[in-house]
Structure 1
């Protein structure tokens, strides 16, 4: 199967007016949902401070960052993961090109290398995300989302460091 080159195009208008893009908080839930897109979170997914952290008179900063919710009757405990200073996250969409359907990877199996360009359009921006786990708070060691953000930001610092 041939690989499809991934090209990120950011429209010039986006770079000039970043205030026009909406601010969101992505929720990373520990289940598979057959949907990928915006949802009416205020109506269907209620987020509260975690009961164990609010029961204490003086919760730690880590404990006060915990949230609690229920999804399909199952308790979820969430951790607010703030992106490091100077970093922003973006939600992108890849709309189909005019007159074509979205490109499927299987379309290129026997055609050799193709010079295909996918256009990604920024839809929203975030500076924090909520990482959820079943019954226990997610932690940086076992949660792939938290550890990935930490690893990628450390790698970016090394890659972009000035040579001494």
Structure 2
């Protein structure tokens, strides 16, 4: 199982990040971690999730999360694709019923784009994230194959 972390404000780590679509237009960083966390809300990653570059042939990064070493890479989306973070909002409508004097309550769900991004970080335990060991990276390969087949 995986978790995505996206803070509301920019962090000081020097890795590429996406553009936020909120009014103050600050930058956000998207991280896809190889673990499960049973928490839904803000996390103080600015102080505790310290990302350090690893100097190798390609730009890689290293961090530690709950005592486990993670190796990451930044994935840049091409010009044809854009990442979005959606926020669910539900609305309750009072709908008058024609058969009775009571009103029916109808709940509708809608999704709004809260952030857009053009890059994100993918992390794996002790190994470099590759399409062979990461489902998200392999799905991006399928995007390219689908574009070739459809054209």
TM-score, shorter chain, exceeding 0.5: yes
Work out which of the residue numbers 128, 136, 140 in structure 2 matches 1:149: 140
SS at match of 1:148: helix
Q: Which has the higher contact order (CA 8 A, sep 6+)?
A: 1
Q: Greater share of strand residues, 1 or 2? A: 2
Quote the Cα distance in structure 2 between the aligned partners of 1:90 and 1:151.
18
Partner of 2:3: none
Quote the Cα distance in structure 2 between the aligned partners of 1:127 and 1:38.
22
Is contact 1:92–1:120 with CA below 8 Å preserved after alignment?
yes
Unaligned runs of 5+ in 2: 1-20, 94-106
Quote the Cα distance in structure 2 between the aligned partners of 1:156 and 1:118.
31
After superposition, what is the alpha-carbon deviation per residue over 1:115-139, rounded to whole angstroms, capped at 9, x for unaligned? x853111111111111101011111
Partner of 1:24: 28
Quote the Cα distance in structure 2 between the aligned partners of 1:135 and 1:119.
39
Quote the Cα distance in structure 1 between the aligned partners of 2:91 and 2:39.
21
Alignment RMSD (CA, Å): 2.5
Quote the Cα distance in structure 2 between the aligned partners of 1:88 and 1:139.
21
Unaligned runs of 5+ in 1: 1-17, 100-115
Return the offset for 1:89: 0.3
Partner of 1:103: none
